Amino acid sequence: MSVLVVGLSHRSADLALLERLAVPTDETGKVLRSILDLEHVLEAVVLSTCNRVEVYANVTRFHPGLQEVRTWLAERGDIHPQDLDTLQYSFHDDRAAAHLFSVAAGIDSMVVGEQQIAVQVKQAMEAARAEGAARGVLQRLFRQAVRVGRRVRRETDIGRGASSMVDVGLDAARHHLGEDLSGRTVLLVGAGKMGGLTADRLVESGVERALVWNRSADKATRLSSRVGGEIVEDGDLTPAIAEADLVVCTTGAAMPVLDVELVRAAVAQRTRTSPLVLLDLAMPRNVDPACEELPGVTVLDIADIRAEAHRTITGEVVAAAGAIVDEEAARFLAWTLAARIEPTIRSLRARAEEVRVGELDRLSGKLAGLDDRQREAVEALTRGIINTLLHDPTVRLKELADASGAEHHAQALRELFDLDQ
């Protein structure tokens, strides 16, 4: 058993490649099932956000499992494996845990300290659990990651004053619309968690008018109430886009929601003199990049936000957060090593109990004259002998779980006692 992660992020790949690999929400189940079909994969979780696509897997054997996941990623992105090798990263066991913990804590984010990623980590785990893809090891890893994220934010200043992708995106939009959004009309396309965060920021900005569109009428209604806005009926978005100064897209759709023909039609209906800014916070992108070529239209996507997402963070804060991550990663490694040893310990005790019971059965004729009290004494005596004999080896094996070569000791024990697992 080994835990590994293979992925690409804003640090290693461009937006176009991340978009090809991205896993829309409605494809999560199918994607997880395809990973579980790989020969050496026992469990899987996919973390797909606007900044990263990562596959976490619990595999029976590290090297074959790693190769299978790498090949799967290459096939999903329709990329030659050798081309992908230079862009992806991979870690295993405690380093895989440390990477996930850094992600959950916002250390590895484009906007350092942002908190939305912690929600996305939790959602990834819940989606995998719903599909039966994360049960034991990965469920524990991701639950610990959520706790580590909270601990880092509680014990360090990494989240103090931190922005989010929404904050940075809205700041970029202000550069084109003017610093004050209070007199503007904003159209929200998408009513999920990112859309909700955008709505909160717009309320704080005092936006004059907010329009909300979502495929789910219930979600659109809830979000429009939250922002004091108007619902755009499902159908043609053209009039709503024409009325807006800013359109913020946050849906999980696999294909663009705003294509160039739709936006061209909206531009033709516009009576406003201000530019139309399309802020695309989704992955895959909700806005067709070709919209940028339309007159009076500015498209801002994740790639543009990267250039804006610079926040100074002191070395002391990074070191403090990193120390927590390393400590928690070591704790996870200790648990995984103990989990690998535990089946051997159980098998050893089961074999000893089998021998004890077998010997008592063999001598049952000679013990026929014993009363119940005497039989209980013999049972207790033999169990005590077994427990005493196995106590020191069991304790020592558990101690070795924290050391390198622990699995070799366990394997030797299995071979010596011919233990079935």
Q: Kindly state the DSSP code that residue 247 receives in the 8-state scheme.
A: E
| Active-site annotation holder among 50, 104, 181, 329 | 50
Counting residues of the chain whose pLDDT is more than 90, the rounded percentage is: 55
Quick one: tokens of 274? 């201000």
Domains of the chain: 2-162 (3.30.460.30), 165-308 (3.40.50.720), 336-417 (no CATH)
**Sequence-ordered list of residues with C-beta below 8 angstroms from that of 47, at least 6 positions apart, any chain:** 7, 53, 54, 56, 103, 120, 121, 124
pLDDT at 227: 86
CA contacts within 13 A on the Cβ side of 53: 27
Confidence of residue 362 (pLDDT cuts 50, 70, 90): confident
- CA gap 362, 356 in Å, rounded: 10
What is the average per-residue pLDDT within 5-34?
93
Residue 258 backbone dihedrals phi, psi, to 5 degrees: -110, 100
**Which range has the worst mean pLDDT, 93-107, 224-238, 304-318, 362-376?**
304-318
Answer whether residue 122 shows pLDDT above 80: yes
pLDDT at 239: 95
- CA gap 350, 394 in Å, rounded: 13
Residue 18 backbone dihedrals phi, psi, to 5 degrees: -60, -35
Confidence of residue 338 (pLDDT cuts 50, 70, 90): confident
- CA gap 313, 108 in Å, rounded: 12
* Residue 249 known to be catalytic: no
Q: What are residue 52's DSSP bridge partners?
A: 9
Q: What is the CA radius of gyration of the chain?
A: 28
- CA gap 22, 47 in Å, rounded: 9
- CA gap 210, 224 in Å, rounded: 8
Q: How many other CB atoms are found less than 10 A from the CB of residue 407?
A: 15
Answer whether residue 308 shows pLDDT above 80: no
Q: For 250-265, write each residue's pLDDT tens digit.
A: 998 889 999 999 999 9
Predicted model pTM: 0.76
Q: What's the chain's average pLDDT?
A: 89
Given the DSSP bridges, would you call strands 2-9 and 52-59 parallel, antiparallel or unpaired? Answer: antiparallel
Tell me if residue 210 falls in helix, strand or coil. strand
- CA gap 286, 282 in Å, rounded: 6
Confidence of residue 401 (pLDDT cuts 50, 70, 90): low
Residue 132 backbone dihedrals phi, psi, to 5 degrees: 70, 20
